[in-house]
Amino acid sequence: MELQVQVVDHPLVRHSMAQLRNRHTPPELFRTLTRRVTTLLVIEATRSLRTRRQPVETPLETVQAQLLDEHLVVVPILRAGLGMLDAVVELFPDISVSIGYLGLERDEETAEASIYYSKLPPIEGKTVLLVDPMLATGGSVCHALSGIFPQHPQRVILACIVTAPEGVATVNQRFPQAEIFCAALDRELNSRNYILPGLGDFGDRLYGTI
């Protein structure tokens, strides 16, 4: 089955991805690049948000302007997703944005995700933007989505920085309604379920905990 994922292939994304992947990039620059890629990714991922018309007076005349007409619930998956949060929130100053948090951690041996924290605002009828930089086996994202979809959001958009074909296929199969956007679709997972070529452990590189 063809993978349903949109790769945001902007030259600035490609350039930043080269730096993010580089093993010598230090945490401070890694955090800056994470914000930069997230901005470019989320602009594309939210291209189809609804707008409504509203008259606005310029100094010269009245114009039928358009304002964003959706309430966005941003949900970063802790801990690495936190590195993407500020860039998302800063893009949406004029509509109400609320933030929910999900803490998920993969077992180092089995790669199975378990939840250790959950605080979500009401999401019924809302557009949920789930952010997690790495989609590897898809276990963490599927865990998150299995808590989100029963609450009847209008849409769920997933923004990841690096994805693996295995994880995309799993999410496509289990949650075909989830719209996936990423900066890179990599080759495969290794035997420890790390993405190849990937960039290593995102959370460790973001927070200098290697």
Which residues are designated catalytic? 106, 110, 201, 204
Q: How far is the CB of 200 from ligand PRP (least distance, A)?
A: 10
Of 62, 83, 81, 163, residue with least CA distance to 128: 81
Residues lying near ligand PRP in the complex (CB under 6 A) are found at 77, 79-80, 104-106, 111, 113, 132-140, 167, 193, 201-203
CA distance 38 to 53: 28
Q: Is there binding between residue 202 and ligand URA (CB under 6 A)?
A: yes
Of the candidate residues 8, 45, 84, 136, the single one contacting ligand URA (CB under 6 A): 136
Nearer to ligand URA, 81 or 153 (CB): 81
> Does residue 181 sit in helix, strand or coil?
strand
Residue given tokens 């979809």 in the structure block = 149
Nearer to ligand URA, 39 or 193 (CB): 193
Q: Is there binding between residue 131 and ligand URA (CB under 6 A)?
A: no
- Cα 117 to the center of its chain, rounded Å: 18
Nearer to ligand URA, 97 or 102 (CB): 102
Q: Please confirm whether the linkage preceding 55 is cis (ω < 30° from 0).
A: no
132: how many CB neighbours lie within 10 A of its CB? 24
Using CB under 6 A, list all residues that contact ligand URA. Answer: 134, 136, 194-195, 198, 201-203
